[in-house]
Amino acid sequence: MNVDDLPPLRSVLATHDLAPTKALGQNFLLDLNLTARIARSAEPLDGCHVIEVGPGPGGLTRALLQTRAASVLAVEKDHRTAPILDQLAQTGEGVEKGLHVAFGDALTLDLLQEVSTPRAIVANLPYNVATPLLVAWLRDLWREAGAYRSLTLMFQREVVDRITAQPGDKAYGRLGVLTALSVASAERQFDVPAQAFTPPPKVTSAIVRLDARPEVPGPLALFAQIERVTAAAFGQRRKMLRQSLKSIVPDAESFLEALNIPPTARAEERAPEDFRRIAEAL
């Protein structure tokens, strides 16, 4: 049996009595045209070892198995999906790509240890853990050059706004700075209306694609410092930097002057590179 011979996802859910649960952030995509479109946003995946977090009933997994990826690893917390994903693993494409399903919490998995290169992540993320997962994967890009060739991820649209925001934008903050300093590019792909999901969430979703730089952006310790600086600076985003950075540099005023950054500037208007320079000087 091939992927295209499988029953529609709605009947798969009914047959296996898989009722979505809120605690696991389960909003399923049952429209295979849409899951194919997400997989296309991740192309080219030729030769990549693809990691999908949260396959659920496997709509996006089906699409990923039909790409030119070398293999697919699906990480899922919900054991109830096992019979559905087993069936997917037994399709022609599932066998060819060696679809492997790891049951567990994606937050505790070290993908750099588990998966060989070149890697790519494609996922419709569970919203309750989406941001910590993104930050962990950005950190991975500082641990290993080009740790992921690309990351094609679905979030709530408001989170994609934050990831792609520029200085001065309302959504500009810690997530935009961490992303800009970690990747070569962050491109919004398309929006997905709430009605496309089962059950529909309260908000619109969107896909973002991040492409890695060929080299690590800097030493790993610097990423931690940038996290510290952006947490302090954007924790009090309306305050002047000389005030908001006091918790990490006692004499913030002369520290900022030495870096040629006006101490009266506010975090929301400063470029990502400024936060890198602040972090380097700590």
C-alpha distance from residue 8 to each of 59, 78, 94 (Å) = 9, 20, 17
Q: Which residues contact 158 (CB under 8 A, 6 or more apart)?
A: 171, 203
Q: Which is nearer to ligand SAM, 25 or 94 (CB)?
A: 25
Q: Which is nearer to ligand SAM, 118 or 126 (CB)?
A: 126
My answer on whether omega of the bond before 44 falls inside 30° of 0, hence cis, is yes
Closest distance between ligand SAM and the C-beta of residue 214, in Å?
29
Q: Which is nearer to ligand SAM, 159 or 165 (CB)?
A: 159
Q: Which residues contact 144 (CB under 8 A, 6 or more apart)?
A: 112, 216
Closest distance between ligand SAM and the C-beta of residue 230, in Å?
24
Q: Which is nearer to ligand SAM, 126 or 173 (CB)?
A: 126
Closest distance between ligand SAM and the C-beta of residue 109, in Å?
8
Instruction: Give the three-class secondary structure for 32.
Output: helix
Closest distance between ligand SAM and the C-beta of residue 29, in Å?
4
Q: Which is nearer to ligand SAM, 62 or 270 (CB)?
A: 62
255 neighbors 265 (Cβ within 8 angstroms): no
Binding stretches for ligand SAM (CB under 6 A): 24-29, 53-56, 59-60, 75-78, 105-107, 124, 126, 129
Closest distance between ligand SAM and the C-beta of residue 262, in Å?
42
C-alpha distance from residue 92 to each of 7, 48, 131, 208 (Å) = 15, 19, 34, 30
Q: Beta-carbon neighbour count of residue 87 at 10 Å? A: 16
